[in-house]
Chain A
């Protein structure tokens, strides 16, 4: 094959142009765009659950269902409480009758009684949406109906959701469900209508034991944020890389 000097130069120029073309796809952001990209630095909602304080009364679940108009008797809920009983044979028994809407009043789990001498640990763990920093449920939405607000809460647009259920499958924590009345995806949003007005979420207000607390993670003087910053807290299913923003005190390895 012959290659003249002219051909070589032409080919070299073409190749260089083709190589730098994708670079032009990047663009410089304006100051305002950078501010949005970094999110409002003043507010990021976070949540702290103290599992040692939880007694499994379920008043949080009752308050949540009434506050957020979740059908009271349908088997769906934005938050729930799990009971763990770990026995000496290293078996973990978990239940959450009616999502603990009526609390835990029966020492048995699904009719199975436990000898107190055989129980090594037994405790309650409230669960709710983690408002992840990298929410997989938002990534999978095909229509842009679910999104993360600048203060970190993941919301669902009831007018735009088509009810395909991808997000319900995507959430590793199983907090999303199909709303039987509105026929859209539904989940906990930290009572966005309440926290926007300076109130606490219904579950936080209803809890008599202070097991649930909400805070602004960007405010270092917030007493709850200080606990998260300075004490030993854990998150559920850290390995999924979703960066959950609900922190737990007293989490056990048996909790899933």
Chain B
């Protein structure tokens, strides 16, 4: 065959070779089918380890109980027993090293998450005692009268 047919073909072959060499160096070595099949499992294997290495922020009440057993026990015997310490006290991270002190949320908005009166007949929200925040002692923090660790109305402060 003639040169004018072979030459463009060589050019194309060089481009393909260049692409394959570039691809070899740019695509991570652990890229491949690691899941059930090519459609759902074609990925970089190391990314699973990256996700597993994300630091944990919420440590759970057992972690709090190690140093604060009195507060944990007080809350555990109250109507608020189901609420995790960190829901109000904030995530522990590596407390007591970092942060040394947790930021306690004492706002009315925190209590109103459950105790604002709503009309939700087909949800268990309707079983929780609720108030109208606009008429029930507005501007006074809830914890001035109600003890969050012992919220029974008989034990009002």
CB within 8 Å of A: which of B1-52? 31, 33-37, 39-44, 47-48, 50-52
Question: Does A14 lie at the interface of the complex (its beta carbon under 8 Å from any beta carbon of B)?
Answer: no
Is A56 a contact partner of B123 (Cβ separation < 8 A)? yes
Q: List 25 A-B contacts (CB under 8 A).
A: A55-B120, A59-B87, A59-B113, A66-B57, A67-B58, A104-B116, A104-B118, A107-B118, A119-B121, A122-B123, A123-B123, A124-B125, A134-B40, A138-B40, A148-B40, A148-B41, A149-B35, A150-B41, A155-B43, A155-B47, A192-B51, A196-B52, A206-B58, A208-B83, A209-B82
- Chain B residue nearest in CB terms to A147: B43
Given A114-B119, A135-B40, also A194-B56 (CB < 8 A): yes
Contacts of B116 in A (CB 8 A): 103-107
Contacts of A138 in B (CB 8 A): 39-40
Is A103 a contact partner of B47 (Cβ separation < 8 A)? no
Distance in angstroms from B71 CB to nearest chain A CB is 17
Given A138-B39, A148-B35, A208-B84, also A202-B58 (CB < 8 A): yes
Contacts of A37 in B (CB 8 A): 36-37
CB within 8 Å of B: which of A137-196? 138-139, 144-150, 155, 157-160, 189, 192-194, 196
Bound CA–CA A37/B36 (angstroms)? 5
Bound CA–CA A37/B41 (angstroms)? 10
What residues make up the interface of A, taking CB atoms closer than 8 Å to B? 36-39, 51-59, 62-63, 66-68, 83, 102-107, 114, 116, 119, 121-124, 134-135, 138-139, 144-150, 155, 157-160, 189, 192-194, 196-197, 199, 202, 205-206, 208-210
Distance in angstroms from A234 CB to nearest chain B CB is 15
Bound CA–CA A158/B33 (angstroms)? 18
Is B122 a contact partner of A121 (Cβ separation < 8 A)? yes
Given contacts A147-B42, A157-B50, A208-B84, 9 further A-B contacts (CB under 8 A): A36-B33, A37-B37, A116-B119, A119-B121, A122-B123, A145-B43, A159-B47, A196-B51, A197-B52
Is B112 a contact partner of A193 (Cβ separation < 8 A)? no
Given A148-B41, A157-B43, A159-B44, also A123-B87 (CB < 8 A): no
Contacts of B82 in A (CB 8 A): 208-210
Task: Kindly state the interface size class of chain B when it binds its partner.
Answer: 35 or more
Contacts of B40 in A (CB 8 A): 134-135, 138-139, 147-148
- Chain B residue nearest in CB terms to A117: B119
Question: Does B114 lie at the interface of the complex (its beta carbon under 8 Å from any beta carbon of A)?
Answer: yes
Is B41 a contact partner of A192 (Cβ separation < 8 A)? no
Is B84 a contact partner of A206 (Cβ separation < 8 A)? yes
Contacts of B91 in A (CB 8 A): 63, 66-67
Is B43 a contact partner of A208 (Cβ separation < 8 A)? no
Distance in angstroms from A154 CB to nearest chain B CB is 8
Is B35 a contact partner of A209 (Cβ separation < 8 A)? no
Is B124 a contact partner of A202 (Cβ separation < 8 A)? no
Distance in angstroms from A73 CB to nearest chain B CB is 15
Contacts of A149 in B (CB 8 A): 35, 48
Contacts of A83 in B (CB 8 A): 120
Is A144 a contact partner of B36 (Cβ separation < 8 A)? no
- Chain A residue nearest in CB terms to B113: A103
Is B84 a contact partner of A205 (Cβ separation < 8 A)? yes
Distance in angstroms from B9 CB to nearest chain A CB is 25
Given A55-B128, A148-B36, A160-B44, also A119-B119 (CB < 8 A): yes
Bound CA–CA A206/B58 (angstroms)? 9
Interchain CB contact (< 8 A) of A122 among B35, B39, B84, B121: B121
Per-residue contact bits, chain B 94-115, to A (CB 8 Å; 1 contact, 0 not): 0000000000000001001110
Is A52 a contact partner of B109 (Cβ separation < 8 A)? no
